[in-house]
Structure 1
Amino acid sequence: MAEHGDRKMLLHVCCGPCAIYPLERLREQGFEPHGYFFNPNIHPYAEYLRRREALASFARGEDWPVIFAPDYSLEQYFREVVYREGDRCRFCFTQRLRQTARVAVRGRFAAFSTTLLVSPFQKHDLVRQAGMAAAVEYGISFHYEDFRLGFRKAVSRSRELGLYRQQYCGCVFSERDRHERRSKGERR
């Protein structure tokens, strides 16, 4: 990494707690990560705002620059997943990582990545595929790293920091599924 610009990375962030470990790892590797909060899948709006504020609070404490998408594009999310509910995660990941790649190219970042790679509850292979496809489409590098190794550490640290930790991925479907599992006595 010879040039300053080669280390500048845009990190898509789903929430504050999931940013903890990837931010630490990327900084250790000499990257200069900037966050990007674009999550039109999060429902309801109050949940969106709560996650946004938790991230903003974490970012302030870490002196970490984060770009917040100016709009809550819920309609855009539903246009992507309607009639595809069984494969909604693929379309959701694709939508968010394509937008991250677009912003990364516009902002002259050398690469992009995502905190979606930290959760053991996400469909990791789909996240990776969506990131790689967006990288090819926009001509930018996708930094793939299995951040799941730091999930427990991030959970512990988020509790220490008093960061809001959500109980579902964000979409209305996952919220419904969470309640259905709970009523059946199942665990995730």
Structure 2
Amino acid sequence: MRLLLHACCGPCSLEPLRLLLEEGHDITIAYMNSNIHPQAEYEHRRDTLMEFAREQGIPVVEGVYSPKAWANTAGVYANDPAMRPWRCRACYRQRLDEACDYALTNGFDGVATTLTVSPYQYTDIIREELEAACALRGLVPVFRDYTDQYPEATRRSKALGMYRQNYCGCAVSKKEAEQEREERRIERAAAKAAKLAAEAPKRAAAEAARAKKRAERQAYAEKRAAQRAALKAYKQAHPSDAQDE
């Protein structure tokens, strides 16, 4: 079918695009992501996606970048961490509604999305929102759970030298990602400290054993030096004995 593929970024587009093309669809990519903050990040992700799409001969359409529209919908849940699923649902809805509006106006048969590649997304909610948006407009929802493609998408995007973002997109997710990375850093540091503490007696025993060996070698060397000095002194005191030898 003539399919509009909503794409969040270049890396997440790799495997969905490949698989949907293998299914025989005529694909156009829709970059419609007013959630991405700041604008420089939005443009960086867009440019990465468009460069790849050009190489593949896939057309890309770009929606209107409107952070204000996002703030008025998903952004209303930004200050309450417990509302994260609702914030993400509103975010999915805004972007998929935009994609479906474009698909309806421009003669597409169905709409798909790359959002399910990331294991950090709410896959079931994405399905619900895609199906609802398509149903309102008489479009076919082409839903696929691409979570199992995440490792391959990661491998391919790294091999291609693609820009890879380290947060979902919105300012809230950026802050959350930074906090999670800091928490993981603290956890790793604590685990390392605990490991070092647990291994301290073993290291101390090993160092004591090494110190004992060093002391034994030093004592042996001093003993041999004393023997050589005594022998030398004896020979100097008894030169006739040395001649008899």
Normalising to structure 2: TM-score of the pair?
0.71
In structure 1, the residue matched to 2:98 is: 99
Counterpart amino acid of 1:30?
G
Q: How does 1:159-170 map to 2 (within 5 A)?
A: 159-170=158-169
Unaligned 5+ runs, structure 2 = 188-245
Q: How does 1:14-53 map to 2 (within 5 A)?
A: 14-53=8-47
Cα distance in 2 between the residues matched to 1:154 and 1:34: 19
- SS of structure 2 residue aligned to 1:42: coil
Q: How does 1:70-149 map to 2 (within 5 A)?
A: 71-85=64-78, 86=83, 87-149=86-148
- Out of 42, 55, 80, the position equivalent to 1:61 is 55
- SS of structure 2 residue aligned to 1:36: strand
Cα distance in 2 between the residues matched to 1:178 and 1:150: 22
Structure 1, residues 93-120: CA drift from partner, whole Å, max 9, x if none?
A: 0000111111111111110010002111
Q: Give the Å deviation of 1:73.
A: 0.6
Q: Which has the higher helix share?
A: 2
Counterpart amino acid of 1:152?
P
Q: Matched residue pairs, number?
A: 180
Counterpart amino acid of 1:29?
E
Counterpart amino acid of 2:75?
V
Unaligned 5+ runs, structure 1 = 1-6
In structure 1, the residue matched to 2:180 is: 181
Cα distance in 1 between the residues matched to 2:155 and 2:137: 36
Structure 1, residues 41-93: CA drift from partner, whole Å, max 9, x if none?
A: 00011100100110011111111111112x31100000002332312100000
- SS of structure 2 residue aligned to 1:11: strand
Structure 1, residues 139-180: CA drift from partner, whole Å, max 9, x if none?
A: 111101111222111111111111101011101011010111
Name which structure has the greater RCO, CA cutoff 8 Å, separation 6+.
1
- SS of structure 2 residue aligned to 1:67: strand
Cα distance in 2 between the residues matched to 1:149 and 1:138: 30
Whose Rg is larger?
2
Counterpart amino acid of 1:124?
T
In structure 2, the residue matched to 1:11 is: 5
Normalising to structure 1: TM-score of the pair?
0.92
Percent identity among equivalent residues?
Answer: 37
